[in-house]
Structure 1
Amino acid sequence: MKITFLVLGKTDDKYIIEGITKYLGRLKHYIKFDLIEIPDLKNTKNLREDQQKAKEAELLQKALNPTDHIILLDEKGTEFTSRQFSEFLNKKMVSGIQNLVFIVGGPYGFDESIYKLAQGKISLSKLTFSHQMVRLFFIEQVYRGFTILKGEPYHHD
């Protein structure tokens, strides 16, 4: 199985980029993990919220394949402990999924068309994080999940 992490926009903060790079380097020992950044929309101040979500959906759909198993990072999604998330990843791996795609939406969330494509939703927290921080937190949690599955001493209950 491969994991693809699909995000809108680039990360500008150096400390976040350093953290992402650190965990991407660690993850390659466990699974093929691709971080795909879709360029930000231009001139969004002239768009209504629904128009912006629709345009973002078009960009996201271009990056997806029909066989992708899509999980949205969404505030209304299922919350997991780190152990539960590792079990979730394990179930997906043994189910025969070839490409597990996690998507972070834009500032207003997802267009309805993206919700219809998804097989699930996960919430990282009831707290709200910047889209930049979510990237680092999520990649670290994937890494943590694999260390839990391998019985390595990274995670402490």
Structure 2
Amino acid sequence: MTITLITIGKTDNPQLQELISLYQDRLKYYIKFDLDIIPDVKNAKKLTETLQKQKEGELILKKINPGDVVILLDEKGKQFTSVQFSEYLQKHMNSGVKRLIFVIGGPYGFSDEIYQKSNGKLSLSKMTFSHQMVRLFFVEQLYRGFTILRNEPYHHQ
């Protein structure tokens, strides 16, 4: 199985990018992981919120293949503890899915088409974080999930 994280816009903070890269490197010992960064929509400031979500949605849909399981990182999604998230990952690996895709949308969230295409929603917290911070939190939790599945000493209960 491959896990892909699709995001809109690059991480412009070098310290955050360094930490994201650290966890990306660690993940390669557990699973094939891809970070797919879609460039920001051009002239986004001139677009309405709905039009921006629609244009971002079109770009996201181009990255999704039939058979992919698509999970949106969304504030209204299901919340897990780290252990529950590791079990969620194991369930998907056991299901035989080839590609599990997590998506971080743009500043206004997702278009209706993306919600319709998705197989579920996941929330990292009830709090709001910058999209760049969410990338770091997500890849760290992904790494943590795999260390839990392998009973490695990274996670403490």
Please indicate the TM-score interval, normalised by the length of the shorter structure.
Answer: over 0.9
Question: Which residue in the other structure is 2:128 paired with?
Answer: 128
Q: Secondary structure at the match of 2:143?
A: helix
Structure 1: tracts of 5 or more residues without a match: none
Q: Deviations over 1:73-98 (max 9, x none)?
A: 00000000000000000000001110
Question: Which residue in the other structure is 1:13 paired with?
Answer: 13
1:3 partnered with 2:6: no
Amino acid at match of 2:100: L
After TM superposition, list the pairs within 5 Å mapping 1:16-35 onto structure 2: 16-35=16-35
**C-alpha distance in 2, partners of 1:49/1:156?**
42
After TM superposition, list the pairs within 5 Å mapping 1:1-157 onto structure 2: 1-157=1-157
Amino acid at match of 1:49: E
**C-alpha distance in 1, partners of 2:22/2:52?**
32
TM-score, structure 2 normalization: 0.99
Paired residues in the alignment total 157
TM-score, structure 1 normalization: 0.99
**C-alpha distance in 2, partners of 1:80/1:52?**
30
**C-alpha distance in 2, partners of 1:18/1:48?**
33
Deviation at 1:42, TM superposition (A): 1.2
Deviation at 1:27, TM superposition (A): 0.3
**C-alpha distance in 2, partners of 1:49/1:127?**
21
Q: Secondary structure at the match of 2:66?
A: coil
Deviation at 1:67, TM superposition (A): 1.4
Q: Deviations over 1:112-154 (max 9, x none)?
A: 0000000000000001000000000000000000000000000
Q: Secondary structure at the match of 1:93?
A: helix
